[in-house]
Chains A and B, each alone.
Chain A
Amino acid sequence: MIPKLPITCPSCSSSLNVSQLACPSCSTTVSGNFPLPVLLRLNQEEQDFILQFFLTSGSLKEMASQMGISYPTVRNRLDDLISKIKQLQNQE
């Protein structure tokens, strides 16, 4: 099982920052305070949606058929995601 990257604080629900990165082969660690990029601040389902959008070359019709939902439902999800990303960008 791949552990899910936590993006919000379990205590106050604010966005989390990265404070440490580690090299898996030599265990070198880098510390600091790095904000998460916009795409990583989306939840897993939203990230999967964007990945699928990319893999289908942006064809909403193909996505709808792969996901087993209707075209307007896919388009609505995309529109909602665009608004969410715009909102996150404005917060930066």
Chain B
Amino acid sequence: MKKLLFNPFEKYTEKQLFITGFIMAALCSLVAYYLNARFDGILDMHLVNDVRFEAPFIDNLINIVTLSVFLFAAAITVNKKTRIIDILNTVLIARIIYCFLPIFNPEFISPGIDEKLLSIDPQDPQSLNLTALDYTAIGITAIVMIGALVWYITLLYNGFKTASNSKKVAHTIAFILAIIIAEVVSSLLISTIN
């Protein structure tokens, strides 16, 4: 079970991983459309007021392509035998986690919390009147989001390691740099194109 959750790349074939990842990416975009979510960067998920139908699909496409390109560039410096399909599958499978994130909206736990948070007066933050339920909603969302981010990065790292057979610290640094660059590039592309 641990392998399935954190390193399915060691066991499952490229075909199984690709089909699962591809279907989930499409479903993820659909869920995002219905729950008004945008994936405006490889590490981002924001809930907005209104979403065009095609927007989450384009977001996901840009995120998957950008992350695959930069991770592949890092992996090829580590091991020339790395295959692009293994990196693409790593990205597709890791991004499945983002399918579930739009569900964890604090608004579902404590209706009206968004309004309260948006109406904060920066000059007088003490005036914010949050209830115990609001704090619970913020707490639960924060824990889920941090946990999901850790899980996402763990999946990406394990997939990268399996695809490139990386073992050294320098390889881990290459992985971290690829993630940072992909985040910057994907955010810029999404804000420009989509």
Contact = CB atoms under 8 A, between A and B. Distances in A.
Interface of A: 64-65, 68-73, 75-76, 79-80
B162 A73 contact: yes
Given A70-B9, A75-B81, 6 more contacts: A69-B10, A70-B10, A70-B17, A71-B13, A72-B9, A72-B165
Contacts of A80: 165
A73 B10 contact: yes
Nearest to A75: B81
B11 to A, nearest CB: 6
Contacts of A65: 13
9 contacts: A69-B11, A70-B10, A70-B162, A71-B13, A71-B86, A72-B163, A73-B10, A75-B165, A79-B81
A70 B14 contact: yes
Contacts, number: 34
Interface in B84-137: 86
Interface in B165-186: 165
Nearest to A73: B10
Contacts of B12: 70
Contacts of B11: 68-70, 73
5 closest A-B pairs by CB: A76-B165, A73-B10, A72-B86, A72-B162, A72-B163
Nearest to B163: A72
A16 B9 CA distance: 37
Nearest to B90: A72
A68 B12 CA distance: 8
A68 B10 CA distance: 9
Contacts of B14: 70-71
B46 interface: no
Contacts of A69: 10-11
